[in-house]
Each structure stands twice: as C-alpha cells, then as structure tokens.
Amino acid sequence: MPDGSATDHGSEVPDAGPGVVLVGFDGSRDATRAIATAALLLPRMTARVVTVWAPASPDPVLRRRITRHARTLDRLGTLMEQECAADAQQTAADGAALARAAGWSPEPVAHRAYADPGAVLATIAGDLRPRVVVVGSRGLGGTAAVMGSVSDLAAHHSPVPVLVVPPLLSHERAAAARGPVVVGHDGSPGAEHARAAAAALLPHRDQVLAHVHRGDTTEPGGDVPVGALDLPAHGWGGRAVANALDAAAADREAGVVVVGSRGRSALREMVLGSTAIAVLHHVHRPVLVVPSPSPEE
C-alpha cells in the first residue's frame, strides 16, 4: 500500500482478516483521539481506516473556483464529486498515518455512501466481520447528547463489538494502556456473552464484574457471577446506571467499560433505550458495546 494514499471503493471495502479493527475516521479531533486510545487497548492490530463520504459541496473557496471552471451543470456536478472524493481520500490517508504512528498496520479507504456514517460503518462491519469497530465520541451530556450521533448509530446497529472513545483526561487515557476491564453484568446471557467477548478481545487484562441495581434493595441477581461488585444506582434511569459504572471504573483506574447490547434489570434497556445513550455519553472511559450473539452463534 503506498503511503499517503487512499482508495475509493464506493460501496465495496476489501475483506477483513483476523486481528482487523474497523476505524471510522472523519478527520475530527474526536476521531484522532479515538485512534490513539484504541491503539493502547488493542496494540499491534491491522486497521481498516474508513472515511465515509457523500457528494456534497466542498469548501466554499473551492466551490467558487470549481464553478468558474464548469461550463455546464453536468460538469459542475462531476467536478464537485471529484473534489469531495479527493478530500475523503486525503482524510482517510491522514487517519492511516495516525494509526501507523500509534503502532497499527493501517489501510485507508474512502467509502462513498449516502446514509449516516454510523449506519454505514455498521453495515461495513456486517460484511467484513472485524474484531471491533472504533469510533470517537464528543462525550456530550444532558440535552446536548444527540441520539443520532455516529457513535450511537454504530453501537446500535453493528453486529460486532463497537469501541466508543470519548474525550478523556490524561490519567483516563493512560489507564487505557494498562487498566482492568469493568464489565457491566446483570446475570443475563447477553451480559455473559459480553464478558466472554471482552476476554477474547483483551486477553491480558484483569476483569472486574459489576452488577448495578436500583433502589435500596438488590434486584434478583439471577446468574450474576459470584464475586461481582454490587453497585447501587443512586436514582432512576440510564444516567444512574452510567454513573455507577463510571464510579466503579474511576475507583479501579479501568481502561475500558464493557456492556452487552441486551440485558435485564438495571441494564435491560442496553442499546435500545436510554441506558445505552447514558453509558455512551456519561462514562468517562472507552466503552465497548458488545451485541447479543446471533441465533446461529
């Protein structure tokens, strides 16, 4: 692969192999930080760095220059698409350079699509089956948290685990290199599947299982593993669950928090409801969302 280049595969991306991570990269600071942090958690991986783009107006200055060169509307549309494609290819190449500097073996890909980038990444993940999808998050809270963000959509729809990296403080970022894995475990098969998936993806990290319950009494634990932390959720709703997991992660200097996409009790809304949004936007650690196994698994 030539350095500094990116291939526009349109709706086609090369097949992934074992040890491949799929990285969504749009050139933003959030995406840049996601690569650096994910490489601490998952060193020496092969990375498919994908920039999703759609034909749209380029930079206003370039648009004016293109307009002067176009003699017809058809020519204008062609030139606009060429410039957007070139910009996406450069963005993907920039992301690959960052991934290489972080210790990964990257391949840049500019992927042309009209859907939301988060949904597109989930679709690509379904085709390629990488080990994990990596995306950055703005880490917004309260009414500023946007349910339709790239990270939310990728986590909702991806058939493989999604690692969402929010903005982190320096000590939180350092913990990604060495800290344990905190797994939200409610005793459900989905939670146990998430624990096993995290163990396979991060085999050299200690695991801390955390059972979150609401109210003053512990909810029935079901098959919650013996020795799991029993964490009270102070309040109701997904934000209370997120706060409990965040506090447990901070106390143990965790490198990542893991949740399953299905569950019961305090985590039953995972990925489908407010708890998913709360965990993704209010836990100040990288969050690994593991989907439930498909029926054939």
Render pLDDT for 241-255 as a digit per residue (tens, 0 to 9): 889 999 999 999 999
CA–CA dist 110, 51 (Å, integer): 5
Half-sphere exposure at residue 33, Cβ-oriented, CA atoms within 13 angstroms: 20
In the predicted structure, residue 237 carries a pLDDT above the cut 70: yes
48-66 per-position pLDDT tens digit: 999 998 876 556 666 666 6
261 pLDDT band (50/70/90 cuts)?
confident
Domains and CATH numbers, the chain: 7-165 (3.40.50.620), 170-290 (3.40.50.620)
Please give the pLDDT value at position 222.
Answer: 60
182 pLDDT band (50/70/90 cuts)?
very high
Percent residues over pLDDT 90 in the chain: 48
CA–CA dist 229, 37 (Å, integer): 26
Residue 216: CB partners within 8 Å, gap ≥ 6? Answer: 232
134-175 per-position pLDDT tens digit: 999 875 444 344 434 888 889 888 999 999 999 999 999 999
Please give the pLDDT value at position 147.
Answer: 39
Please give the pLDDT value at position 266.
Answer: 41
105-126 per-position pLDDT tens digit: 999 999 998 888 999 999 999 9
Q: Using CA atoms in the order 256, 257, 262, 267, what is the torsion angle rounded to 10 degrees?
A: -170
Instruction: Give the pTM.
Output: 0.83
Choose between 224 and 92: higher pLDDT: 92
CA–CA dist 180, 132 (Å, integer): 18
Report which listed range, 46-50, 229-233, 269-273, 293-297, is most confident: 46-50
Pick from 162, 87, 159: nearest CA to 132: 162
- Rounded to the nearest angstrom, the gap between the alpha carbon of residue 214 and the centroid of all alpha carbons in its chain is 27
CA–CA dist 123, 121 (Å, integer): 5
**What is the arithmetic mean of pLDDT over 180-197?**
89
CA angle 209, 168, 276 (to 5 degrees): 50
297 pLDDT band (50/70/90 cuts)?
low
